[in-house]
Structure 1
Amino acid sequence: MIETNSTLQIETPAFCADSVRVLLVYPNSKDVALANLGFQRVHNLLNQISGVECDHYSLPVGWTSDVLELDSSSMLSHEWNWSLDRFDAIAFSISFEPDYLNAALILKYFDIPLERKERSHLHPLVLAGGSAVFINPEPLADCIDAFFIGEGEGLAEPFFKLFSESEFNDARELLEPAAKIPGIYVPQFYHQEYQEDRMVEFKAEPEIVERVERQWVKEGSPDLCTHSVLHDEVSTFKDMSLMEGTRGCIWACR
């Protein structure tokens, strides 16, 4: 275990020059982020993938949405104290729909264009997953380069293996092959038509799957054994280590 920036974590391997550097972002305050087991799981999962190194970020404790800008110290990653421009991808972990707005604010704080069509190779790839996203990704469809639709255990490795093993001048070049991975939704390859406030047509480009299927972890899989890997005194559950007993509501309620 190591302690950096007051956060205890599983020690990450020495940096490799060819690694994909991912900043995992929970779009709410740090005390809430560290109390979210899904966020914790994805952090651990990404750091177990060969060729990937993951740090995490969340908003300062006490943050409110009327804050117009953050001070420089509040814009560094929590473990390595890195600025955003050193990462290849930002991956939002979103469990609740109100945090969609917070994700947009974080992009604004980091001076990243909100609409993906306005971004260039100078910007990191912007990704999103989490329980809110795989139920309804569309509110962020114009902002996100690729969504993970379903549980991360079956999605992260094929996507980031493609990322780490591909050669490209702009990371967006890998979005077309990524769109062929089951559970990866790349909005730029889908087109909608609306009449007033109602969508009347949803069409995929050629060679892109018409319907993205949500991915699940098989019942009984050892991947379902999830526990805390990040600990901090500011966490809502600062004196506890979280462990997954069951995933989702057994009654399938919403």
Structure 2
Amino acid sequence: MKKLALDDEILLKIDKPARYIGNEVNMIKKDPKGKCRVAFAFPDVYEIGMSHLGIQILYDMFNKRDDVYCERVYSPWPDLHQIMKEQRIPLFGLESQTPVKDMNFLGITIQYEMCYTNILQILDLSQIPMRAADRSEADPIVIGGGPCTYNPEPLADFFDIFYIGEGETVYDDLFDLYQDMKGSSYSRFEFLKEAAKIPGLYVPSLYEVSYHEDGTIASFQPKYEGVPKTIKRQVVEDLSAAVYPEKPLVPFIKITQDRVVLEIQRGCIRGCRFCQAGMVYRPLRERGIEMLKDKAYQMLQNTGHEEISLSSLSSSDYTHLEELLNFLIENFKSKGVNISLPSLRIDAFSLDVMSKVQDIKKSSLTFAPEAGSQRMRDVINKGLTEEDIINGAGLAFDGGWQKVKLYFMLGLPTETEDDMRAIAQLAEKIAERYYEIPKDQRNGKCQITVSTSFFVPKPFTPFQWFPMCTKDEFLSRAKVVNEAVKEQLNRKSIRYNWHEADVTVIEGILARGDRRLCEVLLKVYESGSIFDAWSEYFKFDHWMNAFLSAGIDPDFYTTRIRGEDEIFPWDFIDTGVTKEFLLREWHTSQREKITPNCRQKCSGCGAMTYKGGVCYENQN
């Protein structure tokens, strides 16, 4: 295979050439001869993609196989994108500089809807036909994985296979199938039909969709016998035994998350009704404490990083959190290693834990009440009272913190103006709690940053039936909060910012859309849009023009109410959590009632069918 590298003249013209030269610390190099060649792409800039744990895990896992060579690919920044287009330079893997088009598989992780145009960028720059139907026998098999595959339909035309579930499970089966079939005269179609028999693999070209006159789905069926009607999400039962990298890649330039990431558990017991991850990653599975201690030591030793982040959806719920923190502090404090604790619940945070972490490095604390009023928190099943929030913030302040970040959502189901104003009022109460501390014991002025995102009803959540707000409605709600913040006594201690409303609208369309959006995506990309996740590159008018050109009403996907019997584009996927449970939770939310978390009481969501998690253990 021909190898390719950017010459010095090109590297001198572009920003941060280290994004494209590879050779990072712990990079894997192999003799490619006889190997199944895999390019693993992250459809965003290098600094974002290199921070992603999932790619690090699968990169390590794939390359443990003697018969597979996995390389990495990231979206070229617009400066290099233009040069590659003009000079017809094909996109290449960082490890060997081999063009992606010459590899056997192209895997693309799909983390965020606003990266969809970058998926087309990767295909286009790789010189691979963007539509799967146009690919030849010589083109790579294009696979999509990650959280957005829980509704893969807006991307159905562009992928040969979608991997539904956790990546550590059936990729080996797929590579084994490829090795078994590559020596014979099989066709691409025959390989895809065989791949569709592997649990968790969805081949969109093997299915057909019909629609009612009103645009809703009438049926979704396999075209061929032997192709499964339902795709079952694949789940790692024993995380302690699962592959986890001991030598993560270390870049030569600063990236977004420049630290060791230690995933302590997967799944969540809380059942927040807006949270897709909390539903689709059920049941909760913890990694063993001894495994985590070993991996922490190995990764810090093999990378030289000065920070370790404990990753999970709700770190406070990890059974052995205190023991793990004590281990990290005792073993690495003298080496100046900082410990990052994202996803902490304010009601479960202890002053003792905070004080130990603070001794190493002070930083702001982040909490997510999600809603300002108690009524609204009950609707979304947050399971937090105002007393919990104020007391938790008080513990933080007593422990020496004065910077707090608070995350909320606007546009939630049943939201009223009082609920919006309650966001500012809650921030004020937290500020008041800080100023109760004697002046000589404070660490300066209290700094509270309030951030609101706009709510998107995601698939496989109880709110998937709910209509979204329009762009103008979102902005009017942000205005209410902004004015309410300015009315507070401690307003100088409170800073407020909000997400872009137009970006949220497009995210919502792509999150709940169907195959008809493929044409829109193609038109948006052809109009020059890439890096839509970046404010400076997002062009709302490109999207609106594409909808108009494709004859599609975007409001169909956002502002209309879904009927309870409607077939959703993602209904063919079995995540373990049943649609009946989600509908029951939707009705419970409208009654403003909370549902106990999984450790308090099993609510029969369906995830108990997957062994190894909290629900299964409670069942027994």
Q: Determine if the TM-score, normalized by the shorter chain, exceeds 0.5.
A: yes
Determine the structure 2 residue equivalent to 1:108: 124
Q: Unaligned stretches of 5+ in structure 1?
A: none
1:237 to 246, 257, 264: 257
Does the aligned pair in 2 maintain the 1:217–1:224 contact within 8 Å?
no
Alignment of 1:76-91 (within 5 A): 76-91=92-107
Name the structure with the higher helix share.
Answer: 2
1:199 to 217, 228, 250: 217
Q: Is residue 2:84 matched to residue 1:70?
A: yes
2:195 to 157, 168, 178: 178
1:11 to 22, 28, 49: 28
Determine the structure 1 residue equivalent to 2:581: none
Alignment partner of 2:71: what SS?
strand
Does the aligned pair in 2 maintain the 1:113–1:119 contact within 8 Å?
yes
Displacement of 1:151 after TM fit? 0.5
In structure 2, relative to structure 1, the CA distance for the partners of 1:220 and 1:42 (3 Å cut) is closer
Does the aligned pair in 2 maintain the 1:228–1:241 contact within 8 Å?
no
Q: What root-mean-square deviation, in Å, do the aligned CA atoms of Structure 1 and Structure 2 show?
A: 2.5
Counterparts of 1:28 and 1:168 in 2: how far apart (Å)? 36
- Corresponding pairs, count: 246
Q: Is residue 2:53 matched to residue 1:37?
A: yes
In structure 2, relative to structure 1, the CA distance for the partners of 1:52 and 1:6 (3 Å cut) is closer
- Partner amino acid, structure 1, of 2:226: E
Does the aligned pair in 2 maintain the 1:227–1:243 contact within 8 Å?
no
Displacement of 1:95 after TM fit? 1.5
Does the aligned pair in 2 maintain the 1:23–1:56 contact within 8 Å?
yes
Counterparts of 1:74 and 1:8 in 2: how far apart (Å)? 25
Determine the structure 2 residue equivalent to 1:165: 180
Alignment of 1:114-129 (within 5 A): 114-129=130-145
Does the aligned pair in 1 maintain the 2:109–2:144 contact within 8 Å?
yes
Alignment partner of 2:44: what SS?
strand
TM-score after normalising by structure 2: 0.37
Q: Is residue 2:270 matched to residue 1:251?
A: yes
Does the aligned pair in 2 maintain the 1:149–1:185 contact within 8 Å?
yes
Counterparts of 2:228 and 2:215 in 1: how far apart (Å)? 25
Does the aligned pair in 2 maintain the 1:125–1:172 contact within 8 Å?
no
| Greater shift in the superposed pair: 222-231 or 203-212 | 222-231
Displacement of 1:58 after TM fit? 0.3
- Partner amino acid, structure 2, of 1:198: T
Does the aligned pair in 1 maintain the 2:63–2:70 contact within 8 Å?
yes
Determine the structure 1 residue equivalent to 2:231: 212
In structure 2, relative to structure 1, the CA distance for the partners of 1:226 and 1:11 (3 Å cut) is closer
TM-score after normalising by structure 1: 0.86
Determine the structure 1 residue equivalent to 2:171: 156
In structure 2, relative to structure 1, the CA distance for the partners of 1:112 and 1:218 (3 Å cut) is same
In structure 2, relative to structure 1, the CA distance for the partners of 1:85 and 1:105 (3 Å cut) is closer
Q: Unaligned stretches of 5+ in structure 2?
A: 1-20, 277-620
Counterparts of 2:246 and 2:268 in 1: how far apart (Å)? 18
Counterparts of 1:212 and 1:144 in 2: how far apart (Å)? 16
Counterparts of 1:106 and 1:142 in 2: how far apart (Å)? 15
Q: Is residue 2:29 matched to residue 1:25?
A: no
Displacement of 1:33 after TM fit? 0.5
Determine the structure 2 residue equivalent to 1:139: 154
Alignment partner of 1:161: what SS?
helix
Counterparts of 2:130 and 2:28 in 1: how far apart (Å)? 33
Larger Rg: 2
Counterparts of 1:54 and 1:249 in 2: how far apart (Å)? 31
Quote the sequence identity (%).
28
1:157-187 deviation digits (Å, cap 9, x = unpaired):
1011111221344444311111111101011
